[in-house]
Each structure stands twice: as C-alpha cells, then as structure tokens.
Amino acid sequence: MSLVIRSSAIHAAGCYTTTPIRKGAYVVEYTGPRLRKDLADIRYENLPMTYLFGVGDGNTVIDGHGTAMFLNHSCDPNCETEEEHGRVWIQAIRNIAAGEELTYDYHLYDGDPADAPCHCGAKACRGSMFSSTPA
C-alpha cells in the first residue's frame, strides 16, 4: 500500500492512500519519540496543536514524527487506532478506496472541547474532536 501527504479539506495536510485498503488491514504505525506525559505537557504547554498520542496507562505519549501524524480526525472515520505490544497502529475499519483520505476519531478527553473544533464535514459531526466515549 502506498500513502501520500497532500492538502486536506479537513485540516491543512492529510494522509491519502493511492491503493485500495481492505477492512482490518494495518495501514501505518504511529511512530516518534516516547516521552513522559507530564514532561510533554510542559514542553508543548504554549502550543495550540501537538501530535502527542497517549499509550499504555496514559503516563507515556508518542510525539508523532511519521506519516501517521498526518491522519486527520473525523467523526465518521475509516480507520481506528490499535495498541499492540506497546506499538500503536492505524487499522482500516472498512474498505477504503484509492484516493481517500485516511482518518480516525481522536476521542480527545483532556481539555476544553471548544479548543478543538471539528471540521470533518460528516453528517453526524460532533462539532469537536472531544468525545464523551472513551477510545
């Protein structure tokens, strides 16, 4: 499978597939340095956006530095995240056609929903990347 980064109607840049992806396939791993959450919170305290992904018990985050950091949020996603043996994978939850933007539901929980408006355009858009449903 081949992924490309290009302009997105959801937010700035997005990750797109150039080949079809079957439901259940692992698409890409969320990679980057691992940091303690408390230290990452201090490091990025004054930034409006980060690519931090919580893993394990929530005390560790991955500071996204790879292709997966370009997957945008959607309230009607075509992917989800799967943590396996300390690694985070993006997995297709339905068949995805070539040319589609890859998305997953961020299920944000730590902050003010007004600080993370959603622009996914889904019919059932929550209006925020925050979710009352745990990931």
Query: Regarding predicted confidence, which is higher, 115 or 37?
Result: 37
Give the separation between CA 93 and CA 78, rounded to whole angstroms. Answer: 6
How remote is the C-alpha of 54 from its chain's centroid?
A: 11
pLDDT in tens, 62-97: 999 999 999 999 999 999 999 998 899 999 999 999
pTM: 0.89
Q: What secondary structure letter does DSSP report for 42?
A: H
Query: Regarding predicted confidence, which is higher, 112 or 7?
Result: 7
- For the chain, the domains span 32-65
CB atoms within 10 A of CB 84: 10
